[in-house]
């Protein structure tokens, strides 16, 4: 014997409790553990909303001649932030989007036509695209079926907690969700579904809920999880409540036909097993569920609303902002580098332009300068005087002898300077000057010994032009190790 709400040989077929005629006068059917509850629109009451409240215009079971339109009052209710189920149809513009993220066919070019033709069993190619929800998959010529060889096996083992990969396909109901851990291609984003049912009833019927969505979407549907577990929360009066703890199977018989209550569950969509007409956007999936919720079979739960958030778009927006920021930084760095490169040659040119350039004087300029210097020295005392006077010839002679060199020309003999004898070069000097490495012993007392022109062996070595650079460095290292002073100057300096 099957439990309440199920039938079939293996009790896997859901009994359709809520049908289109269960609740009258536009009432919304809500499944429960012990039956259904009708949420009645304004002016009606009763188990099936068949009773007209006192003071209302129409009486129950009466069809007035001037019966109002199906969308009566929906224009005023649209966009008020509350979902009015009696206005949540294509004819009534989906209550202005209050019951879902937006009109399911908003992106569709032929929205009105495709909404009316959606999932009617007839293929309309103009609607057979993702924005128009693939015409409810009416254009799929060959409906997927479970292979006959494994059909019985898959039916007996689906939902048993063990993954049978041969049954993990659309025709075999994806093995009842047993292969949910083997994910291949999960759509990026969040999809939340508000289901009007008792939490305890939903917990027991989670497999049925997932199978119904998987069947209509032709994809594997799973409940999304976070660090704390399955993302299922209580929902009441358009607000999310506490997390629903599945392990606490609290069976409540409490019913209410006044407040809208149920659960909100986040799902994820795996399209790895899809072959044709596959979803690529969670927003389209949400639109499809919203458009097909009145035609869902086997769920025995009413879907109140569906919402979706495409994480790829927000991530793409963030990536775009980051790229723009990095591009700006790169441009600033490039400008700084160009400025520095341009500034350095400019400064060098300025220094070169301001530095005086020495040119060797010509022979005429040298003679003129010497003549000027001779006259200047002879007349320095006179020129420095504040007042010129006529000098005595004897005084002039003494001044001339004092300022000019003593030579035979002016009848004064000057003793020539004695030429200082240059010191003889040592064997270390000779080796440093040759084209071969230094081979004589290097003593501490000889490394700083001065030779001709007051030069040490180090000074001779660095002026050597016949040795290779490598030989000079090796000899210099040996001289320095013996105590050579590299800071000495020769006699010419």
For the chain, the maximum distance between any two Cα atoms, rounded to a whole number of angstroms, is: 159
Q: How many CB atoms lie within 10 A of CB 315?
A: 11
Question: How far is 46 from 375, CA to CA, in rounded Å?
Answer: 138
Contact 274, 220 (CB under 8 A): no
**Segment 225-230 mean pLDDT:** 85
Q: Residue 140: pLDDT above 70? A: yes
Residue 102's Cβ-count burial label (10 Å; 0-12, 13-18, 19+) is middle
- In sequence order, the β-bridge partners of residue 266 are 192
Nearest-Å Rg of the Cα atoms of the chain is 53
CA distances from 323 to 21, 162, 239, 310 (A): 56, 46, 38, 20
Q: Residue 488: pLDDT above 80? A: yes
- What's the mean per-residue pLDDT of the chain? 72
Please give the pLDDT value at position 484.
85
Q: Residue 172: pLDDT above 70? A: yes
Please give the pLDDT value at position 384.
44
Please give the pLDDT value at position 64.
37
Please give the pLDDT value at position 333.
92
Q: Residue 472: pLDDT above 80? A: yes
Please give the pLDDT value at position 99.
62
More confident residue, 247 or 26: 26
Most confident region among 79-93, 133-147, 456-470 by mean pLDDT: 456-470
Q: Residue 206: pLDDT above 70? A: yes
Contact 302, 197 (CB under 8 A): yes
Question: How far is 221 from 269, CA to CA, in rounded Å?
Answer: 5
**Segment 468-491 mean pLDDT:** 86
> What DSSP character marks residue 429?
H
**Segment 123-150 mean pLDDT:** 84
pLDDT in tens, 333-379: 988 888 887 766 554 444 444 445 556 666 666 566 555 455 444 44
pLDDT in tens, 418-446: 666 777 888 888 888 888 888 888 888 88
Provide the whole-model pTM.
Answer: 0.43
**Segment 186-204 mean pLDDT:** 85
Q: Residue 77: pLDDT above 60? A: yes
More confident residue, 214 or 101: 214
pLDDT in tens, 7-33: 766 676 666 666 655 777 777 777 665
**Segment 306-316 mean pLDDT:** 68
**Segment 220-224 mean pLDDT:** 84
Block residue for tokens 């009105």: 112
Q: Residue 48: pLDDT above 70? A: yes
Question: How far is 105 from 97, CA to CA, in rounded Å?
Answer: 11
pLDDT in tens, 268-284: 888 877 767 788 888 88
Q: In this predicted structure, which of 147-161, 166-180, 328-342 has the lowest mean pLDDT? A: 166-180
What residues have CB less than 8 Å from 222, skipping those under 6 apart?
177, 180, 210, 267, 268, 270
Q: Residue 258: pLDDT above 50? A: no
pLDDT in tens, 381-408: 444 444 445 555 555 555 555 555 555 5
- Annotate 160-224 with three-state secondary structure: CCCCCHHHCCHHHHHHHHCCCCCCCCECCCEEEEEEEECHHHHHHCHHHHHHHHHHHHCCEEEEC
Q: Residue 477: pLDDT above 60? A: yes
């Amino acid at each position: 014997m099957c439990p309440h709400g199920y039938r079939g040989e293996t009790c896997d077929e859901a009994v359709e409790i809520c049908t289109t005629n269960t609740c009258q006068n536009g009432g919304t059917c809500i499944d429960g553990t012990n039956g259904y509850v009708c949420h009645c629109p304004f002016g009606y009451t009763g188990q099936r909303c068949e009773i007209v409240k006192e003071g209302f215009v129409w009486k129950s079971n009466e069809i007035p001649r001037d019966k109002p339109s199906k969308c009566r009052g929906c224009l005023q209710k649209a966009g008020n932030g509350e979902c009015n189920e009696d206005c949540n149809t294509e004819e009534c513009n989906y209550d202005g989007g209050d019951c879902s993220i937006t009109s399911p066919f908003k992106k569709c070019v032929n929205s009105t036509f495709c909404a009316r033709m959606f999932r009617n069993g007839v293929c309309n190619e103009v609607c057979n695209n993702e924005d128009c929800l693939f015409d409810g998959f009416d254009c799929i010529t060959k409906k997927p079926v479970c292979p006959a060889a494994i059909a019985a096996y898959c039916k007996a083992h689906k939902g048993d907690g063990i993954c049978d990969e041969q049954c993990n396909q659309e025709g075999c109901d994806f093995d009842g969700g047993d292969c949910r851990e083997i994910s291949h291609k999960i759509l990026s984003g969040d999809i939340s579904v508000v289901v009007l049912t008792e939490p305890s009833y939903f917990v027991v019927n989670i497999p049925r809920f997932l199978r119904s969505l998987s069947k209509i979407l032709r994809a594997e549907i799973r409940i999304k999880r976070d660090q704390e577990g399955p993302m299922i929360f209580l929902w009441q009066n358009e607000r999310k409540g506490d997390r629903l703890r599945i392990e606490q199977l609290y069976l409540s018989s409490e019913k209410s036909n006044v407040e809208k209550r149920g659960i909100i569950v986040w799902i994820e969509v795996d399209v790895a097993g899809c072959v044709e007409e596959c979803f690529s956007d969670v927003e389209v999936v949400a639109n499809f569920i919203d458009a097909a919720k009145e035609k869902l079979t086997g769920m025995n739960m009413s879907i109140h609303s569906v919402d979706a958030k495409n994480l790829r778009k927000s991530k793409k927006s963030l990536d775009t902002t980051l790229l723009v920021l990095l591009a700006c930084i790169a441009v600033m760095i490039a400008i700084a580098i160009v400025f520095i490169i341009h500034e350095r040659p400019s400064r060098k040119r300025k220094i070169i332009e301001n530095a005086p350039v020495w040119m060797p004087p010509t022979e005429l300029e040298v003679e003129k300068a010497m003549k000027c210097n001779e006259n200047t020295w002879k007349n320095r005392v006179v020129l420095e005087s504040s007042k010129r006077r006529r000098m005595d010839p004897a005084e002039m002679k003494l001044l001339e002898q004092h300022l000019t060199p003593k030579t035979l020309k002016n009848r004064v003999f000057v003793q020539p300077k004695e030429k200082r004898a240059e010191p003889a070069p040592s064997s270390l000097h000779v080796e440093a000057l040759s084209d071969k490495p230094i081979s004589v012993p290097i003593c501490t007392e000889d490394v700083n010994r001065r030779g001709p022109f007051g030069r040490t062996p180090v000074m001779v070595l660095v002026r050597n032009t016949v040795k290779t650079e490598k030989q000079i460095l090796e000899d210099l290292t040996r001289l320095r190790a013996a105590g050579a002073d590299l800071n000495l100057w020769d006699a010419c300096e």
